[in-house]
Amino acid sequence: MNKRGLHKKTEADALWLPRKALLKWLYNDQQWSHSQIADYFGVSQPGIGKVMRRLGITARGNANYGVRNGRYKDGKQSRLYRQMIEKDVCEKCNAVDDLVIHHRDGDHYNNKLSNLCVLCGSCHNSYHKKLWWNKQDKSKINRNTNGQFKRK
């Protein structure tokens, strides 16, 4: 580490080490997010993340686990459709890996068996990519003679 880097680290330690207990309390006990803590101290979110890593404060992660996750009740998935349909083979290409359940009408609350199908990740992505392109305003997006996109 060069002299300037060492100086900056020393300054950072002098500023944040006395606040370590407060940071831990806000993050772990009060369940504040990095964003809330950054706002409280008037620093950037990436900056507070770096400070917390330096101080050895372990990140909770982005996901909510167990009862804090809206998809789980008593440690089990509340999305029953995932248990209603067997994921054994893709309906389009007969693949057996990376299978997902797709809602045919796009409504994730319509869990009728007739609305559910099993697709592999590749077919599922292709389907949604095709949908996206079909929704684009064709009057605004065209291809020029070289096949590149251009706006009218």
pLDDT of the residue at 7: 67
Rounded-to-integer distance, Cα 118 and Cα 86, Å: 8
Per this entry, what is the length of the chain? 152
Whether residue 23 is contained in a domain is answered as yes
pLDDT at 76: 47
Residue 75, both tokens: 């440690």
Residue 47 shares a structural domain with residue 87: no
Domain extent for 25: 3-54
- In a domain, residue 148? The reply is no
pLDDT in tens, 107-147: 777 778 888 899 999 999 998 888 777 776 554 555 555 65
The per-residue pLDDT for 71 is 54
67 located within any domain:
no
Measured CA to CA, the distance from residue 96 to residue 110 in angstroms comes to 25
Q: How many domains does the chain contain in total? A: 2
State residue 132's pLDDT score: 77
Q: Which residues does residue 150 pair with via DSSP β-bridges, in sequence order? A: 142
pLDDT at 133: 79
- Domain membership of residue 69 (yes or no) is no
User: How far are the Cα atoms of 79, 94, 126 from residue 105, in angstroms, in the given order?
Assistant: 17, 21, 16
Name the DSSP class of 113: G
For the segment 73-111, what is each residue's pLDDT rounded down to a tens digit? 444 444 667 777 888 999 999 999 999 889 888 877 777
Domain membership flag for residue 99: yes
pLDDT at res. 108: 75
With a CB cutoff of 8 Å and minimum separation 6, the contacts of 81 are 101, 111, 116
Given a contact cutoff of 8 angstroms between Cβ atoms, the answer to whether 118 and 91 are in contact is: yes
Taking a C-beta distance cutoff of 8 angstroms, is the pair 118, 126 a contact? no
Task: Share the mean pLDDT of the chain.
Answer: 79
